Chain A
């Protein structure tokens, strides 16, 4: 098998603001070439921190305490800021969570789309403009000229997310980090956006790290899954295996909590206290195991 495109090894992070509370606890995962890898978990599981760590944009109150993030064999964490900036936007791109705030409100779409193409792909103004037009067509926008000359607030949420997807995939990166790209959209638009990401990803052979809390969404788009809880990997495997035959009790609970139209009576009862206690114990044991060698 080929070397994975992205390999996260033993990544740990703490929150400085919160008395060094661990946010990531020795997370390891790998994303292969052309694979869509989902990261699922409830709020606060560390999904976004993981995505931000790869992009070098973790907030100042979070500190990485160990591990490595290898992209094509190079550890991103040891790169100089300049070298990292060269990789970002060229080899790795982001599809952000909230399309209403991720576009600059006072710049036209064409300026925002062509910036990356010119600076990261070395296109001329005219080439970039032509490419931006083609990109908007590729993400199924009917009148690209009109969108290009619009400001973000003149577009709908789904339209803005298409623009952001065009911006990310247009740079022809090897890896796209999609941080909850459908969370802020309504269900019908969600479906279109997922199909769009999948088709672009297949056509360009892009690897995608897909962060989501929505099991229905990851079931549609991901090849493999990593389930996170309190910054710890609970389960990893192919999407079909994890969703149909979960091995870890937490994954089972997570699946049971998913609302089902066919069984409206289920899914409303809280996660059992025994399970939470067991998970806490597991986490505590891991923390102790990490702390142990340091003492010795």
Chain B
């Protein structure tokens, strides 16, 4: 064999840090991710971490203001509501419903929507026409009315709320994933994979899916924020879980009625809701920047 000088492998300086290291260096990811991790801990450990029983009423201690205000009672950091229940404890227990809905509903919507989107974008033809028309028809319904209708038909409860969100929001994933899949399927690396004789499922899931994943992760975190809001809306109108389970939406509804006497009953769950949705959105944004290999130069 002839000899020529070996080529050096990298000509772009030191190798960039791995994905995990980059994620940990991103303040957005660390901050938002940390907040969501805290919420998860609160949701799981609610019975241990909540200072009071969230359902225990005490009319003698009704509308106690938060700590630091005159007439505040020790042990009631965020005050009490109109029935004398501890707002902080109800807030902590409320994370359970919010996070369950965020993860399960957004996860299922993502699974169904992106699967249909991948198939539509990759197989084209009749499959694509069918799925696209389905999405078009779906999007003609007003989403809030559709979810209220669905919950009314299915009956109230956590399962119905999750079902309503999945049934309405799968189209978000489907539309975006279909377009992205179509774009990726034209790329040279997909042609090269076909030329090497890989099967179509292998190409779709091994070659295309990793390139669609960054978009999918952003959408998923955004959808989690949306799911939390939708659950709160359905709780607000009394169509979510039964009223003996504390939820942020339910607390907002109760707080609205007594907002002039006890503003904190409304302010606390609103702040929690707001912070959670912002955290999900920021996490999605941070993940998108760190995970996309093409943007990562």
Contacts and interface: CB of A to CB of B under 8 A. Distances in A.
Interface in A82-139: 84-90, 93-94, 96-98, 101-107, 115-116, 119-120
Nearest to B19: A151
Interface string B183-223: 00001110111111111001000110011011000000000
Contacts of B15: 146, 150, 154
Contacts of A171: 196
B170 to A, nearest CB: 24
Describe B's contact surface by its main secondary structure.
loop
Contacts of B12: 154, 156
A185 to B, nearest CB: 12
Q: How large is the interface on B (under 10, 10 to 19, 20 to 34, 35 or more residues)?
A: 35 or more
Interface string A31-57: 000000000000000000000000111
A288 to B, nearest CB: 35
B4 A195 contact: yes
Contact of A155 (B9, B193, B296): B9
A142 interface: yes
Contacts of A56: 194-195
Interface in A12-47: none
Given A104-B211, A154-B15, A199-B1, A96 B188 contact: yes
A94 B210 contact: no
B56 interface: no
Contacts, number: 117
A interface majority secondary structure: mixed
Given A105-B211, A141-B9, A146-B15, A153 B294 contact: yes
Given A85-B199, A146-B15, A158 B7 contact: yes
Contacts of A146: 9-10, 15
A141 B8 CA distance: 6
A143 interface: yes
B196 A120 contact: yes
B25 interface: no
B11 interface: yes
Nearest to B208: A104
Contacts of B293: 105-106, 151, 153
Given A105-B189, A115-B206, A154-B15, A87 B197 contact: yes
Interface of A: 55-57, 84-90, 93-94, 96-98, 101-107, 115-116, 119-120, 140-144, 146-147, 150-151, 153-156, 158-159, 162, 164, 171, 177, 192, 195, 199, 203
